[in-house]
Amino acid sequence: MQINFAAPQLDRKGTVVVGASERDLLPAASDLDRRLGGALKRAAEASRFKGKPGQVVELLSPSGIQASRVLLVGIGPAGKIDGPAAEKIGAAAVARLLTSGETDVTFMIDSPRDAKIKPGLLAAHIALGAQLRSYSFHKYRTKQREEHEPTLKNVMIVTSEAAAARKAWDRLRAVADGVFLARDLVNEPPNVLSPQEFAERAKMLGKLGVKVEVLGEEAMRKLGMNTLLGVGQGSERESQLVVMQWNGGRKKDQPVAFVGKGVCFDSGGLSLKPGASMMGMKGDMGGAAAVTGTMLALASRKAKVNAVGILGLVENMPDGNAQRPDDVVTSMSGQTVEILNTDAEGRLVLADALWYAQTKFKPKFVIDLATLTGAILIALGLEHAGLFSNDDKLANRIQEAGSEVGEPVWRLPLSDAYDKMLKSKIADMKNISGVTHAGSIVAAQFLQRFIDKTPWAHLDIAGVAWQDGEQKPLSPGWGVGWGVRILDRLVADHYEK
């Protein structure tokens, strides 16, 4: 799909998209309605259109104009329009048109006079919504391909500030590319996306100037990464640690660090999951996917920051060499862990990956992303990711970035009382508490034992990394690509110079 920006102009072929607030038609819609002899207003009334965000009325083959169809899209209360609202407009139109047979669409959404967002930026966010909604993952379909094949090719966004729009879009397009990569990785089936295949795909970021190193099991053994290795030891496939570096900042600047849980498939190991709970566990590398997508976005928009992305890639399987409940393993930090449930594997992978990130790179902060606990779905459902942090400033910045880009997070507590739940009879700690309550917090407490003094935040994304039921407006399909936008925004807001 090609996206372009243009100054206001006359007749367009294909579909024309105009807007209406909750009160009335915006000027471009009014003009069009006049030329259509009032047909647009009549259609709006006939279909109970109220101008609510994302609401759409479709007028096919209208007479008197060149366009083959008109979409009237609701923008909500006019003065309140912002980036996320603009994205919903772009997404709502593309949702209607993507596979409809239409090839061309022109957005003529006027910037309301009292809007907080400038016209150029408004146009760029319409573009972002259109782009994010145009995603599809159909590479494994061999039948009914044609009906699923997108037809929409050219997206034109009319704006009084075309140059500013292009500049803003340059940046946002890089972010969309990162989201697409993360979605592709999450959607890819686990027979295809092994730890090694994931590492191969991460290596492709080399083309953008990202330095990518891959450590295999031998190298990790030398470093003493036994909690990570223990998770992968029941799999035929070799575990991998991927280290990506984007050096867009000043030479001496401490990097920011992102660490992703990359369990390419989580069967539970010997503490085997029941069949129904195992479905979808190809997505248990959603944290690693988000970190990879973020690195792509930062490199592709040449962010002025030094950033490190670390992926702990393993497959959690139950073969004859698999880790047992009751095993005791020594982590890279030197602390010992009694494994009581092999399905609490994400924290074991992150323990070593986090330790490696801090000792090797001395980062300004480290943020890990992980589909860590089913309990976070009980607490927060599918709307917010769980946020845990030892640093209020970092936590607040993450929270703010999340609400700016529509990836909201909710902070949950950490404290000694929860930490005590990890006491083991024979080792420094055990990997589960043994009781069912506060599962997400206990998991975060476990991670915190592998944080030195570095400002740290943990995002539990088990509820938001993929979606089975209702689709989010900007995210068709299964993998959401959650995390790329919030991390990119956090960096852009505070860590670039």
Question: Which residues are marked as active site?
Answer: 273, 347
Q: Which residues pair with 368 in a beta bridge?
A: 259, 458
Selected from 104, 110, 284, 460, the binder of Zn ion by CB under 5 A is 284
- Nearest-CB residue to Mn ion? 343
Q: Quick check: 161 binds ligand BES (CB under 6 A)?
A: no
Q: Quick check: 465 binds Zn ion (CB under 5 A)?
A: no
- Asked whether the CA dihedral 201, 202, 203, 208 is positive or negative, the reply is positive
Q: Quick check: 404 binds Mn ion (CB under 5 A)?
A: no
Residue 411 Cα distances to 17, 389, 444, angstroms: 39, 8, 12
Q: Quick check: 266 binds Zn ion (CB under 5 A)?
A: yes
- The smaller minimum CB distance to Zn ion, of residues 110 and 266, is found at 266
**Minimal CA–CA distance to 85: which of 108, 59, 117?**
117
Mutual angle of helices 162-187 and 484-494, in 10-degree steps: 140
Q: Quick check: 352 binds Zn ion (CB under 5 A)?
A: no
- Nearest-CB residue to ligand BES? 374
Q: How many C-beta atoms lie closer than 10 Å to residue 176's C-beta?
A: 26
Which among Zn ion, ligand BES, Mn ion, none contacts residue 375 (Cβ within 5 to 8 A by kind)? Answer: ligand BES
- The smaller minimum CB distance to ligand BES, of residues 160 and 341, is found at 341
Sole window of 64-72, 260-268, 330-338, 383-391 interacting with Mn ion (rule: CB under 5 A): 260-268
Q: Quick check: 368 binds Zn ion (CB under 5 A)?
A: no
**Minimal CA–CA distance to 1: which of 103, 121, 91?**
103
Q: Which of residues 429-458 bind ligand BES (CB under 6 A)?
A: 432, 439
- The smaller minimum CB distance to Mn ion, of residues 109 and 442, is found at 442
Q: Quick check: 87 binds Zn ion (CB under 5 A)?
A: no
Q: Quick check: 368 binds ligand BES (CB under 6 A)?
A: no
Selected from 87, 343, 352, 404, the binder of Mn ion by CB under 5 A is 343
Q: Quick check: 263 binds Zn ion (CB under 5 A)?
A: yes
Q: Quick check: 385 binds ligand BES (CB under 6 A)?
A: no
- Nearest-CB residue to Zn ion? 266
Q: Quick check: 346 binds Zn ion (CB under 5 A)?
A: yes
Selected from 150, 325, 374, 455, the binder of ligand BES by CB under 6 A is 374
Q: Quick check: 407 binds Zn ion (CB under 5 A)?
A: no
- The smaller minimum CB distance to Zn ion, of residues 210 and 344, is found at 344
Positions touching Mn ion (CB under 5 A) are 266, 343, 345
Positions touching Zn ion (CB under 5 A) are 263, 266, 284, 346
Positions touching ligand BES (CB under 6 A) are 266, 284, 341, 343-346, 371, 373-375, 432, 439, 462
